[in-house]
Amino acid sequence: MTKNPWWAPFVLSRIIEPLMRSLRIQTPELAGMKAGDRALDVCCGTGALALHYARKGIFAAGIDQDPRVIQVAEKKRRKQGLMNVSFQVTSAQNLPFEDNFFDYASISMSLHENERADRDIIISEMKRVVKEGGGLVFIDYKVPFPPIPSSYTSKVVELIAGGEHNRYFKDYIKQGGLDELLKKNHLHAEKRGELGPLWIIKTPNT
C-alpha cells in the first residue's frame, strides 16, 4: 500500500471530505444500511464515512494504516460524542475481525492507491469479515473516465500525487477499474450511484 504523505491528514479532512459529501450521504441508503447494523469502513482516512454511519445509528468501525489520520478521526468522534463508532490502526490486508462479523464493509477512494495484487487481498478480506448476503460497497473512479471537467481535474490531482500513488492509479485504469475488479473477485454490481468521475457500487457478499 502507498504511504500517505505528511500533508495527508489536512488534505483529507479539509479538501477531500467536503468534495465527497454527496457520495457519503448516498452510501448508507444505496447500500440498504439501517440503524443497528454493523459496518466497517476500510482505509477510512480521517473517518468521515464511518462517522456518518454512526450518526445514522449504525455500529461502525474504521481502520487505516496511518496513525495520523486515525488520530484525527478519533478526535472527531470525541467532539461529536459518538459512542457507536471506533477507529484503529491496522492494515486493510489483514483485518483484525472475525469471519462474518459485519453486515457491510466499504472502501472509498483507496483501491486505486494499491498495487494490483493488494487490491484482490483487500477485497478478499472485506468478503471474509462480512456475513454471507451482506453488502460490500466500493467507491472509486469510473473507467473509462467520463468526458467532463471533473475527470480532468481528478487526473491532474493523481498526477501531482506522483510516485507510487500515480503508478498504482495508472495501473487501476489499465486494469479496467471497479467493474473488472468485481468481476475478477466473483462479485456483481447490485446498485450503482455516481458523482462526476466517481462510482459508488454496492454488491452482495456471496
User: Which tens digits make up the pLDDT trace of 141-166?
Assistant: 999 999 998 888 888 878 877 788 88
pLDDT value of residue 53: 98
Q: Cβ of 156: how many Cβ atoms within 10 Å?
A: 10
Write out pLDDT tens, residues 46-62: 999 999 999 999 999 99
The verdict on residue 101 lying in a domain is: yes
Count structural domains, the chain: 1
> Does residue 1 lie within any of the structural domains?
no
Q: Tell me the H-state helices in 138-206.
A: 149-161, 163-175, 177-184
The reply to whether 98 falls in a domain is yes
The verdict on pTM exceeding 0.85 is yes
Give the pLDDT mean for 77-92. Answer: 97
Let me know if residue 121 belongs to a domain.
yes
Widest distance between CA atoms in the chain: 43
3: in domain = no
CATH number for position 196: 3.40.50.150
- Determine the structural domain holding residue 92 and report its residue range: 8-204
C-alpha cell at 33: 444500511
Rounded CA-CA distance 120/64 in Å is 17
Helix residue spans in the chain (DSSP H): 8-11, 17-19, 21-31, 48-55, 67-80, 116-129, 149-161, 163-175, 177-184
Is 195 part of a structural domain of the chain? yes
Q: Is the pLDDT of residue 10 over 60?
A: no
> What is the mean predicted confidence (pLDDT) over 169-194?
96
Q: Classify residue 143: in a domain, yes or no.
A: yes
Say if 199 falls within a structural domain: yes
Contact criterion met (CB below 8 Å) for 120 and 180: no
- Convert 168-206 to b/e letters by CB count within 10 Å (16 or more is b): bbeebbebebbeebbeebebeeeeebebbbbbbbbbbbe
Length of the chain: 206
Alpha-carbon distance of 38 to 111, in angstroms, equals 22
